[in-house]
Structure 1
Amino acid sequence: MNQDRNVERAASLDCATLSDALDRLGIHGQCAWIKARADEFRLTGRAFTLLYGPASKPAGTVGDYIDDVPPGSVVVLDNGGREDVTVWGDILTEIAHRRGIAGTVIDGICRDVALCRKLGYPVFSRGHWMRTGKDRVQVEATGVVVSIGSVRVAPGDLVRGDADGVVVLPSAHEDAILDAAEEISRAEDAIRALAREGTRLDEARRQFGYHRLQSLKDSA
């Protein structure tokens, strides 16, 4: 399966459906506490990962990496869930938007949310606040496995975000997850169609096995 095609497939599915598919396959991929800074934000792409740690003395940089991020990627920043300092602001937003980066996901907080909303550049984080991370945190590593909302994210994993939050599709399982999500989506569409035609909801759900759609299967 072409990787770009899987990005397209993921983009056509909502996070709730992908979450159900993850549950069905027994894969933990729902990023807890990570939310869009605007309800209309959506993102889909492959993870470009960075890991942060406390600043040394002299302090390292909070991030001069943005020009190395391939267009269409999702910038994934692991700041250990810190909510007292930011690792993303308006300069990064402007450059990322101009370069065609798909969006940013932070286990931590951002600032300058007015600009990302104005530009329509999707940022997902635990929250937002103005206190800079300069001289407080620094980039420890780029292109490594990180944790976002207690979910393991490896470079190149598929990341999808919408108004419900963020899910991560590990690259080793992305085809199976997308297949399951598409099956769930088709079944739910059929249930809605029957209900609109006057079928009782419980009967429509029974016909399409609704209560088993998210049930854990024996193997992924």
Structure 2
Amino acid sequence: MADTNVTRAAALDTATLSDALDRLGIVGQCYGISGRDPGFRMAGRAFTMICGPAGKPAGTVGDYIDDVPDGHVVVIDNGGRDDATIWGDILTEIAHRRRLAGTLIDGISRDVALCRELGYPVFSKGHWMRTGKDRVQVERMDCPVNIGGARVAPGDLIRGDADGVVVIPREHEDAVLAAAEEIHAAEERIRAACRSGMRLDDARKQFKYHSLQTRRD
């Protein structure tokens, strides 16, 4: 059964969703996160985990992948660590085969060529080849995490595109999506009016452009 709000989020870009989050006073923009390819797009619900420095013996970095629900986004809080990866080609191949929606990392990934070849969306702070084996391990799963300064709880909506990633808290998703759809419709009317010959300032005034993102409590 299709998740209606995932479908609604997928139809909106992250810029519009960011404006809706601002209107509602919700911090959901994942700072410093971008796709490993500018063409990557993803929308789905969050499957979350926190990683930390490896112990001795070291814990696992990727044995969870077969337990991620269909269509979810793998969300990994690695504390922004950029000296060791937490995602690579084996995870990419299995996630792609299982039709997961994508991967979101507060940290780095590697084996970028394969995710680009397969079209599997990976969003992270960067990429580098140094392995996380014996350096990083999964500490907890199915818990709230921090991704680029935004809180992500299990089941929250995740949307990624060429501008970055936003998280929409599950308890606010109907309000955020409704606001984003309203903003999108207003901006479409402005574009249509300008194509018909109206001045941009007049079109913006008519369709209340300057108040679209104004905070509303």
Task: Name the TM-score class by shorter chain.
Answer: over 0.9
Map 1:50-199 → 2, pairs under 5 A: 50-199=49-198
Judging changes above 3 Å, is the alpha-carbon distance between structure 1 residues 3 and 118 closer, same or farther for their aligned structure 2 residues? closer
The equivalent residue for 2:25 is 26
Aligned counterparts of 1:39 and 1:196: Cα–Cα separation in 2? 28
The equivalent residue for 2:43 is 44
Aligned counterparts of 1:4 and 1:59: Cα–Cα separation in 2? 37
Runs of 4+ with deviation above 2 angstroms: none
SS at match of 2:80: coil
SS at match of 1:75: strand
Query: TM-score of the superposition, structure 2-length normalised?
Result: 0.99
Aligned counterparts of 1:4 and 1:71: Cα–Cα separation in 2? 11
Question: One-letter code of the match for 1:35?
Answer: S
Question: One-letter code of the match for 1:64?
Answer: D
The CA RMSD measured in Å over matched residues stands at 0.9
Conserved? CA contact 2:62–2:91, under 8 Å = no
Aligned counterparts of 1:203 and 1:3: Cα–Cα separation in 2? 41
Map Cα deviations across residues 67-88 of structure 1 (whole Å, 9 max, x no partner).
0001100000000000000000
1:20 Cα deviation after fit: 0.2
Map Cα deviations across residues 47-96 of structure 1 (whole Å, 9 max, x no partner).
00010011111111112000000110000000000000000000000000
Which stretches in structure 1 are left out of the alignment for 5+ residues? Answer: none
Aligned counterparts of 2:98 and 2:60: Cα–Cα separation in 1? 21
Q: Is the deviation greater in 153-162 or in 55-64?
A: 55-64
Aligned counterparts of 1:207 and 1:122: Cα–Cα separation in 2? 39
Question: One-letter code of the match for 2:61?
Answer: V
SS at match of 1:51: strand
Length, aligned pairs only: 217
1:3 Cα deviation after fit: 7.8
Q: Among the aligned pairs, what percent are the same residue?
A: 71
Aligned counterparts of 1:39 and 1:198: Cα–Cα separation in 2? 33
Query: TM-score of the superposition, structure 1-length normalised?
Result: 0.98
